Amino acid sequence: MSRKLLISCEEATSICNKNQYGEASTWDKIRLGLHSLGCVHCKTYSTQNNILTKLMGNHSNSCSNSGHLTDEDKLDLKKTLNEKIKKVN
């Protein structure tokens, strides 16, 4: 890990992204905080990134992936698998 205190915007946004998952180190957070003091763009980015995280939190409550196998799907699977089983035997 880099020891330098001053980081670029690209590094700052990277740390900010990690931080959304609680996976930024203390050292990284210090550097991000310091960077954001002097950088309005990264500060804006951080605020919006937090909003994105909140939105995704709601998202996970409201969305349940693309459903489950329908009966039709299963018939389909069964038909083709049975053909293969016959071939094997």
Q: Does 48 bind other proteins (CB under 8 A)?
A: yes
- Choose, by CB under 8 A, the member of 5, 23, 25, 30 that binds other proteins: 23
Determine if 41 is a binding residue for other proteins (CB under 8 A). Answer: yes
State how far the Cα of 21 lies from the Cα of 3, in Å rounded to an integer.
22
Instruction: In angstroms, give the least distance from the CB of 80 to other proteins.
Output: 7
Q: Please compute Rg for the chain using Cα positions.
A: 24
The residues of the shown chain that bind other proteins, judged by CB under 8 A, are: 7-11, 13-14, 17-18, 20-21, 23, 41-42, 44-45, 47-49, 51-56, 58-60, 62-63, 65-69, 73-74, 76-78, 80-81, 84-85, 88
